[in-house]
Amino acid sequence: MNTLLLGIGAWDPEPWRARFQAVLPGWQVVLPGEIFDRRAVRYAAAWKQPEGTFADLPLLDAIFSLGAGVDHLFKDKRLPEGVPVVRVVDPDLTTRMSEYVVMHCLMALRRVRVYDGFQRERKWIDLRDQPQASDIRVGLLGMGVLGQDAAAKLKTMGFQVAGWSRRPKAVEGVAMHHGADGLDALVAASDILVAMMPLTADTAGILDAMLFSRLPKAEAIGGPVLINVGRGGLQNETDILAALDTGTLGAAVLDVFQTEPLPEDSPLWSHPHVTVTPHNSAISSPPAIAAYVAAQITAHMEGKPLVNVVDPAHGY
Ligand code: NAP
């Protein structure tokens, strides 16, 4: 019987098994640790799988990440070589991410956290200097599927939008930059900097003191704002805290962390200028993602090529 192996290490696997069973009738959906014929496993789907989950599967045709990122897969030193890795590109996930990014850019623009503080203290304070979205420059690090969707929606709200990609790229209505020089130019002109790129050898730790020191003053919104929805490994949390304390950063909105769950003793939890969310800016919903993976499996078994296959050489 055709078998799908679910290598899920960070979530409850049962809702995923139920969804996959519903969209792949006649298939066996198994979890690591169960007894199954390893030669029957044609496909695998993964989120933070235990190391070695996908080794010794001689007829494995593809591994699907259950999220848009694949860094969790490439961390596995026993990942089989030559088996294509496919990532999620799905409007459900993309829409959720753009909601989060647009919401937090608008919250920064309208100083929502500052007014929350005034309200808690029963203070009727009107800051008066209220910039418009068109006064504020949003720089997006990463202009792939998620970056481009967020860019379009931010532009609809009136923000000035610029983007940064690895390779030269043209995106209508967006000032595009690439490479190291491009990063400097983009950062220097970003009142709000949004990280929405993959964690790779090239991007690890990129959100550090050096980068923050290049941000503009962004006085209109109380200092530059960092939003990280990419991966925690992109950021240096010690540098973020130091930059917040010196005013180099005005605020940080963090959905991802160097260690997840964020340890209870992290000073980020209680910092007045930090917003913490539990890596849920764009969740992978089992119905949407299982349908996406099942459609790819069905097409692939009919001889069609897989789509959204990542390039292992670049890690995304
Ligand atoms: P994508 O379509 O692959 O786009 C990645 C973008 O990052 C591309 O524009 C790429 O440049 C750029 N990039 C990669 N390496 C770079 C480098 N060294 N220098 C400059 N730019 C670089 O990915 P996506 O679907 O937009 O997703 C992006 C990331 O978001 C995922 O990898 C994941 O880590 C994260 N994510 C987080 C959540 C969450 O809940 N927090 C949910 C979903 C995704 P090119 O255009 O030149 O290739």
Which fold does the domain 91-276 belong to in CATH?
A: Rossmann fold (3.40.50)
What's the 282 CA to ligand 1 centre distance in angstroms?
Answer: 13
Is 176 a pocket residue for ligand 1 (Cβ < 6 Å)? no
Burial 41-60 (b: 16+ CB within 10 A, else e): bbbbbbbbbeeebbeebeeb
**Cα 93 from Cα 90, distance rounded (Å):** 6
186 HSE (CA, 13 A, CB side): 27
**Cα 13 from Cα 38, distance rounded (Å):** 19
Q: Known catalytic residue: 231?
A: yes
Q: Which ligand 1 atom is nearest residue 70's CA?
A: 32
Domain locations in the chain as residue ranges? 3-88+284-301, 91-276
- Fold match, 3-88+284-301 / 91-276: yes
* Candidate list 17, 96, 273, 279, residue with the active-site label: 279
Q: Known catalytic residue: 279?
A: yes
Is 154 a pocket residue for ligand 1 (Cβ < 6 Å)? no
Give the β-pairing of 41-47 and 3-8.
parallel
Q: What is the pLDDT of residue 284?
A: 87
Helix, strand, or coil (residue 170): coil
Q: What is the pLDDT of residue 17?
A: 96
314's tokens: 């670049």
What's the 200 CA to ligand 1 centre distance in angstroms?
Answer: 10
Residues in the chain: 316
Nearest CA, atom 41, ligand 1:
229
Task: Note the Cα 262 to chain centre separation in Å.
Answer: 16
* Candidate list 96, 137, 231, 273, residue with the active-site label: 231
What's the 198 CA to ligand 1 centre distance in angstroms?
Answer: 4
Helix 286-301 to helix 13-23 angle (10° resolution) is 40
Q: What is the pLDDT of residue 10?
A: 84
- Taking only the tens of pLDDT, the chain with its 316 residues reads 999 999 999 889 999 999 999 999 999 999 999 999 999 999 999 999 999 999 999 999 999 999 999 999 999 999 999 999 999 999 999 999 999 999 999 999 999 999 999 999 999 999 988 999 999 999 999 999 999 999 999 999 999 999 999 999 999 999 999 999 999 999 999 999 999 999 999 999 999 999 999 999 999 999 999 999 999 999 999 999 999 999 999 999 999 999 999 999 999 999 999 999 999 999 988 999 999 999 999 999 999 999 999 999 999 9
Instruction: Report, at the CATH architecture level, how domain 3-88+284-301 is classified.
Output: 3-Layer(aba) Sandwich (3.40)
Tell me: cis bond preceding 25? Omega within 30 of 0 counts: no
